[in-house]
Structure 1
């Protein structure tokens, strides 16, 4: 199993509602991607004050690498990803992706 963790530094002009709308859209891909087991998103609570720039994020659980790659190449994911990149400070530099085998 894999955990696909994504941490996002949105530009400040976007409201939480706008940020949530983009992040919630990634869950819609699950209907088309077998092996996408779980999706959750939300604001970074940052209790340790270690990552204040990355105020939002999401975690997707995949059955295996093939499921993650199917998700990554899904047209809806690619469109949402492009929108999210455009909303981030520094574009791609405003996103951290961490894939963890569990």
Structure 2
């Protein structure tokens, strides 16, 4: 199993509705992309005060790397990914990704 963890530094002017639209688009791929089994998202609670710049994130669960690759190539992911880059401070620099095999 693969956990795809994405941490986002949204620009200050990105509305909650814009964030929700992007997350809803990506979540809609659960059950569409074979092997994409779950996605959760929400604001960073940052209890330890270590990541104040990354205010939002999501975690996707994939059966394996092949499912992750199918997600990466899917047209909805490409579209939502472009919206994420545009919505984050510094573009792609405002996005951190951490993939864990569990």
Common fold, TM-score beyond 0.5?
yes
Give the whole-Å Cα distance in 2 for the aligned partners of 1:72 and 1:47: 31
Runs of 4+ displaced beyond 3 Å: none
Aligned Cα root-mean-square deviation (Å): 0.8
CA drift of 1:22 comes to 1.1
Q: How does 1:13-92 map to 2 (within 5 A)?
A: 13-92=13-92
Q: How does 1:3-22 map to 2 (within 5 A)?
A: 3-22=3-22
Q: Which sits farther off after the overlay, 55-64 or 13-22?
A: 13-22
Which ranges of structure 1 fall in alignment gaps of 5 or more residues? none
SS of corresponding position for 2:31: helix
Alignment TM-score, normalising by the size of structure 2? 0.96
Alignment TM-score, normalising by the size of structure 1? 0.96
Give the whole-Å Cα distance in 2 for the aligned partners of 1:14 and 1:63: 32
Count of matched residue positions in the alignment of Structure 1 and Structure 2: 102
CA drift of 1:32 comes to 2.0
Give the whole-Å Cα distance in 1 for the aligned partners of 2:66 and 2:48: 34
